[in-house]
């Protein structure tokens, strides 16, 4: 029972870390790279990356 408990706990922690990493990478891409692309394209084109269908 202890092996299953620790295995589940480790899996939970790993998935949580992976989720936070994905969130941070997404925020960095939208914040950092989004600003760089915004400078190149000019205007308010950043929302077209997040919502491509709406113009």
What's the burial of 48, exposed, middle or buried (CB within 10 Å: 0-12/13-18/19+)? middle
Question: pTM, whole model, 2 decimals?
Answer: 0.45
Helix (H), strand (E) at residue 36 = helix 34-41
Q: What is the pLDDT of residue 41?
A: 55
Contact 30, 23 (CB under 8 A): no
Q: What is the pLDDT of residue 55?
A: 52
Tens-binned pLDDT, residue by residue, of the chain (55 aa): 677 888 889 999 999 999 999 898 888 877 776 565 555 555 555 555 555 565 5
Contact 37, 50 (CB under 8 A): no
């Amino acid at each position: 029972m202890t092996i299953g408990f620790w295995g589940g706990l480790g899996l939970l922690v790993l998935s949580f870390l992976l989720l936070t990493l994905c969130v941070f990478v997404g925020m960095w891409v939208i914040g950092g790279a989004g600003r760089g692309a915004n400078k190149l394209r000019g205007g308010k084109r950043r929302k077209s990356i997040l919502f491509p269908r709406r113009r």
